[in-house]
């Protein structure tokens, strides 16, 4: 129950931040009219956004009549914050499959992220790292993929299993 309350409070807080941002953008408070300006508030639309440690929150994004306002509080066309994307990519690089991550995401962050979306985000993230633009990684990530094979070989004692690496 506490988690639901926190999500609701955070959702209201983010909505109020965006309302304040729109007031600054328009240069006036709600219901205040101006003779020279023709751009006014034009309601809001509902949206869900997933935050790390909180889960999926419902927010109301305000809009203006001319469609010029873009919020800086929540990234446009993103459904979850970059921290979650970075963590999912790191877990994938650790060896967890995209399908397993898709199932785990629903339990861990409160929103199921499809395996296709995880694959696409990982590809994008690895491209950024290869291009030297680690916008999501504050620390350098190094990984080594090694494929191993366990085979029975005779060394000193017969039929004892020893790992041997193939390339």
Report pLDDT for 88. Answer: 84
Report pLDDT for 159. Answer: 55
Distance from C-alpha of 31 to C-alpha of 18, rounded to nearest angstrom: 16
How would you label 73-98 residue by residue, b for 16+ Cβ within 10 Å and e otherwise?
ebeeeeebbeebbbbbbbbbeeeeeb
What is the pTM assigned to this prediction?
Answer: 0.66
Asked which of 6-10, 23-27, 119-123 is least confident by mean pLDDT, the reply is 119-123
Mean pLDDT of 33-57: 87
Is residue 152 within 8 A of residue 159, CB to CB? The reply is: yes
85 shares its domain with 164: yes
15 inside domain:
yes
Mean pLDDT of 54-61: 91
69 inside domain:
no
Report pLDDT for 136. Answer: 46
71 inside domain:
no
137 inside domain:
yes
31 inside domain:
yes
Question: For the chain, how many structural domains are there in total?
Answer: 2
Distance from C-alpha of 46 to C-alpha of 8, rounded to nearest angstrom: 13
Q: pLDDT, tens digit, for every residue of 78-94? A: 888 888 888 888 888 78
pLDDT of 54 > 70? The answer is: yes
The range of the structural domain enclosing residue 97 comes to: 80-167
User: Phi/psi zone of residue 55: left (φ > 0), alpha (ψ -120 to 50 degrees), beta?
Assistant: left
The DSSP annotation for 55-98 comes to EEEEEEEEEETTS----SSS-TT-SB-HHHHHHHHHHHHTT--H
Report pLDDT for 21. Answer: 94
Which residue among 40, 64, 88 closes a domain? 64
Q: pLDDT, tens digit, for every residue of 137-165? A: 455 544 444 445 555 555 555 555 555 54
Report pLDDT for 38. Answer: 80
43 shares its domain with 84: no
Q: pLDDT, tens digit, for every residue of 64-76? A: 999 999 999 998 8
Report pLDDT for 160. Answer: 53
pLDDT of 167 > 60? The answer is: no
Report pLDDT for 146. Answer: 47
Could you give the 3-state DSSP secondary structure of residue 48?
Answer: strand
127 shares its domain with 45: no
């Amino acid at each position: 129950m506490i988690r639901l309350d926190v999500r609701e409070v955070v959702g209201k807080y983010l909505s109020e931040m965006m309302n304040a941002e729109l007031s600054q953008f328009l240069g006036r408070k709600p219901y205040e009219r101006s003779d020279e300006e023709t751009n006014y508030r034009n309601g809001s639309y509902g949206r869900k956004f997933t935050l790390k440690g909180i889960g999926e929150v419902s927010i109301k994004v305000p809009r203006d009549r001319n469609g010029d306002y873009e919020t800086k509080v929540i990234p446009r066309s993103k459904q979850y914050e970059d921290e979650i994307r970075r963590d999912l990519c790191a877990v994938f690089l650790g060896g967890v499959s995209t399908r397993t991550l898709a199932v785990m995401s629903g339990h861990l962050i409160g929103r199921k992220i499809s395996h296709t979306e995880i694959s696409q985000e990982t590809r994008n993230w690895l491209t950024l790292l290869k291009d030297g633009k680690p916008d999501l990684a504050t620390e350098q990530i190094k990984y080594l993929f090694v494929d191993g094979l366990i085979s029975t070989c005779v060394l000193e004692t017969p039929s004892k299993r020893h790992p041997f690496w193939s390339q």
